[in-house]
Structure 1
């Protein structure tokens, strides 16, 4: 029985020619593809920026004395001229009262001198007073007027000095930390608090000098959040005319209206857009690497069959899940983006249909900026 069964098996595996039959070829593997087309690519650099307030001041008193009253609390928004802190002004108030009393006295003396001059002038016209008496009366009027002006100036001076005892906000903004307490003695160099205006901020960025050579005043700058999302966009208004001699970095600045609640002195991610251009972009999923050399599997027709051809490529910076193609591919090439590890050069494939709008059908449109490899703090991408 064993002999008959073995013979039957041999007979089943031998053809008419007496040679073993060739195994059936595997069916073509289905793959997803993208068609390459030029899209906008941005040459960018990401750096650490510092936010500066266009209006920020440390508030100091202009007089010495004890803190008598604190009108504000830290973080409070104030308008221009709002009282912040009041310094004891009892001595200055007494000096003002004294100056006012002296002024009132000189006003009385002036009025008396004017009446005396009027009577003397009338007597002089009737010949009952001498010219010398008239001149003396006129001199008394002029002296009284000078004394009145002097005391009036002293009153004004005391009034101005008294105003210094109430420290007011120089402009509208937000109050910082209040550094003094009730009863503290302060002088002209004692910091009281700070007021910062955060509606319009500046972002200051230091960039390498070789990258700064291509910057222009209208270069775009983007402020990013921790996830790389663009919060605010503005353009440069300042590029330093010289580099820092110690760091060889060039300071650049942009101003923007603060609509997202950023704060002065905050450190943020900032991205400079050096230039824009059109280039092909290859999805990161479509890249196969062998010994460090990147390849792309291009789908093409050959001998009536659809096959993949492994093609070496030169890649640029990595953007949003896509590399910039420097060379090796051309517009219109169809590249496989799935099952790459199971494909070999020349393997037959079948293009897998995708739903309209799926990522496998469309060409990436994001630029170099925004990806994890867009740029470093020491230079932009290329």
Structure 2
């Protein structure tokens, strides 16, 4: 279950505690939970599988992209010509048609030779030669059809190679960086475009093992996100717990997923807890809701 609500908490630090009549200031965020950092739930750096020259850059930093959307195109003149030539070969039926006519002719000749033989006008060797010629023509037709299928497979291979001249987005997300310009020559596996998905956000929390023993995927979590002097409460869900504890720190990694409809950037400091915030925090959040500064989800 994912929770999308965000509660604006206002200024961080020590101040007037909940229950006073004036503006309420958040308690010390360090008392909220375990310190961690938000990160993209998906993060990919794309590139080409071979050396190319950049022909067109179709996106810029901050653009939203969808899965499969073209982002960068490379010069594909040679690949396009190869596909065009192979298309002619793969779609041509001339060889098959010629083989069909050859088979038809050999069958006519075999029947004529057979009739002549049965009428006493031909020899056994002539009949066998005509029969084998017909059988060979049939095999030639099958070979022509197989060559045509092979040409079609080669066309698909060349088309796939041509498609590799365009870098596309691997998932729905946001362009984080564009590392090339038109005219650049890039080598195999050079980074081209980085795409991230920040809705939802992931948070990997190094949690003391004793606190993880009662947790399971699907359990709720609460994350206090720091944004300068402001903080927001993200209601989240546990999506994974590492089966291995760190022998030095005694902690296990608990991955938390938080819906992010307001597109908060990844990389922010957060404090995460796996039990409902105590009364001090709940009173504070309720005061923010009452003042209209709270729920933005």
TM (norm. structure 2) is 0.71
- CA 1:70–1:275 in structure 2 vs 1: closer, same or farther (change >3 Å)? closer
Distance 1:233 1:110, change over 3 A: same
Rg larger in structure? 1
2:226–2:268 CA contact under 8 A, matched in 1: no
- 1:172 and 1:274 map into 2 onto residues whose CA distance is 32
Tell me if the contact between 1:45 and 1:273 (Cα under 8 Å) persists in the aligned partners: no
Per-residue CA deviations over 1:292-317 (Å, capped at 9, x if unaligned) read xxxxxxxxxxxxxxxxxxxxxxxxxx
Tell me whether 190-199 or 248-257 shows the greater mean CA deviation.
248-257
- Counterpart in the other structure of 1:127: 113
Look up the match of 1:379.
none
Cα distance, 1:73 vs structure 2: 0.9
**1:276-287 alignment runs, 5 A limit:** none
Provide, for residues 139-193 of structure 1, a one-character-per-residue CA deviation record: whole Å limited to 9, x for no partner.
2212211221222211111111111101111211111211011111123211001
What are the superposed Cα offsets for residues 196-253 of structure 1, whole Å, 9 maximum, x if unpaired? 1122111122233444456555253233345575431123333333322343332222
Alignment of 1:160-175 (within 5 A): 160-175=160-175
Q: Which residue number in structure 2 is paired with residue 240 of structure 1?
A: 242
| Kept in 1: contact 2:73–2:166 (CA 8 A) | yes
Task: Describe the shift of the 1:121–1:57 C-alpha distance in structure 2 as closer, same or farther (beyond 3 A).
Answer: same
Partners of 1:141 and 1:100 lie apart in 2 by 21
Of Structure 1 and Structure 2, which has the larger fraction of its residues in helix? 2
Q: How far apart are the structure 1 equivalents of 2:212 and 2:156? A: 55
The structure-2 alpha-carbon separation of the partners of 1:69 and 1:165, relative to structure 1 and needing over 3 Å to count, comes to same
* 1:2-41 pair list within 5 angstroms: none
Structure 2, unaligned runs of 5 or more: 1-30, 115-126, 285-297
Partner residue in 2 for 1:221: 222
SS state of the match for residue 48, structure 2?
coil
Q: How does 1:302-381 map to 2 (within 5 A)?
A: 319=280, 366=283
Q: Does 1:263 align with 2:265?
A: yes
- Larger RCO, structures 1/2 (Cα 8 Å, 6+ apart): 2
**Deviations 1:303-349, CA, capped at 9 Å, x for gaps:** xxxxxxxxxxxxxxxx57xxxxxxxxxxxxxxxxxxxxxxxxxxxxx
Map 1:41-120 to 2 at 5 A. Answer: 45-103=32-90, 107-120=93-106
Task: Supply the distance in 2 between the matched residues of 1:244 and 1:91 (Cα, whole angstroms).
Answer: 53
Task: Point out where structure 1 has 5 or more consecutive residues left out of the alignment.
Answer: 1-43, 279-318, 321-364, 368-382
Paired residue total = 240
Residue 139 of structure 1 corresponds to 139
User: When you count strand as a share of all residues, which structure comes out higher?
Assistant: 1
Is 2:54–2:72's contact at 8 Å kept on the other side of the alignment? yes
Indicate conservation of the 8 Å contact 2:225/2:268, yes or no. Answer: no
Q: Is the 8 A contact 2:38 2:270 kept in 1?
A: no
Query: Is the contact made by 2:235 and 2:258 (CA closer than 8 Å) also made in structure 1?
Result: yes
Q: Please give the alpha-carbon distance, in whole angstroms, between the structure 2 residues aligned to 1:113 and 1:229.
A: 78
Partner of 1:297: none
8 A contact 2:236–2:259 mirrored in 1: no
Q: CA separation in 2, counterparts of 1:237 and 1:166? A: 34
Contact 2:236 2:256 in 1 (8 A): yes
Contact 1:231 1:260 in 2 (8 A): no
SS at match of 1:92: helix
Distance 1:171 1:190 in 2: 20
- Checking the alignment, whether the CA contact within 8 Å between 1:48 and 1:267 is kept in structure 2 is no
Are the structure 2 counterparts of residues 93 and 255 from structure 1 closer, same or farther at C-alpha, using a change threshold of 3 Å?
Answer: same
Alpha-carbon spacing, 1:149–1:193, altered in 2? closer, same or farther (3 Å): same
How many angstroms does 1:72 deviate by? 0.8
